[in-house]
Amino acid sequence: MPDTNVKNIRKELLSNNWYTLHKVTFDYRKPDGTWETQTREAYDRGNGACIFLYNRSSNNILLTRQFRMPTYLNGNADGLLVETCAGLLDNDNPEDCIRRETEEETGYQVSEVRKVFEAYMSPGSVTEKLYFFVAEYSKDMKVTEGGGHAEEQENIEVLELPFAEALHMMNTGEIRDAKTIMLLQYAQLHHLLAV
């Protein structure tokens, strides 16, 4: 992508184990017009999508809980994180991805999803852009038990809880996942459910 403020981009592959990590050296034009050489590392895991699943009649939402090693390494005692359903796009468009991930993780087959925004979650080091969706669910949409694919070693627990309880969990720190907090706040600001 051409940008007059960046030139001479050079990439060095540092790791290609799980996804790719590159050391990127480039020339950047500063606001005063002078050029300087900068070096950064960029981790590329692809783009992803996440979804806020809510039921207006029960005022409940669906979340997941699973083990996240990076949080464990950073002081999360049991490594378990409460999150919205999410996944990498792989070769799908964001809408198809989030429908697939919703069924795999929660067991619900939603058809109508609505994109509400997109965001870079950790732009200092990760290239990933996340697409945020909302969708209503009902009991008749449940087609499997969910829990993720065994071969992906996800071991996902599906949580159905009142919206007010989820907001309380966010306020007490029981919910500490950024995408989940963003979608909970979106739902509260846009009155998707009663508080």
User: For position 68, which CATH number holds?
Assistant: 3.90.79.10
Using CB atoms within 10 A of its CB, is residue 186 exposed (0-12), middle (13-18) or buried (19+)?
middle
Verify that 10 and 55 share a domain, yes or no. Answer: no
pLDDT tens figures, 27-72: 999 999 999 999 999 999 999 999 999 999 999 999 999 999 999 9
Verify that 122 and 71 share a domain, yes or no. Answer: yes
Verify that 92 and 145 share a domain, yes or no. Answer: yes
Verify that 101 and 140 share a domain, yes or no. Answer: yes
Verify that 86 and 12 share a domain, yes or no. Answer: no
pLDDT tens figures, 136-164: 999 999 999 888 766 767 789 999 999 99
Q: What is the pTM of this model?
A: 0.92
Mean pLDDT of 6-22: 95
pLDDT tens figures, 69-118: 999 999 999 999 999 999 999 989 999 999 999 999 999 999 899 999 99
Domain that includes residue 60, residue range? 48-189
Average pLDDT over all residues of the chain: 94
Verify that 38 and 97 share a domain, yes or no. Answer: no
Verify that 57 and 36 share a domain, yes or no. Answer: no
Verify that 65 and 30 share a domain, yes or no. Answer: no
Identify the pLDDT of residue 128: 96
Domain membership flag for residue 194: no
Using CB atoms within 10 A of its CB, is residue 111 exposed (0-12), middle (13-18) or buried (19+)?
exposed
Q: How many CB atoms lie within 10 A of CB 162?
A: 15
Angle between helix 163-172 and 178-189 (nearest 10): 130
Verify that 80 and 171 share a domain, yes or no. Answer: yes
Verify that 69 and 94 share a domain, yes or no. Answer: yes
Tell me the three state secondary structure of residue 15.
Answer: strand
Asked if residue 132 lies in contact with residue 115, where contact means CB atoms within 8 angstroms, the answer is: yes
Identify the pLDDT of residue 3: 57
pLDDT tens figures, 173-184: 999 999 999 999
Identify the pLDDT of residue 1: 47
Verify that 70 and 93 share a domain, yes or no. Answer: yes
Domain count, the chain: 2
CA angle 132, 159, 156 (to 5 degrees): 80
Verify that 124 and 180 share a domain, yes or no. Answer: yes
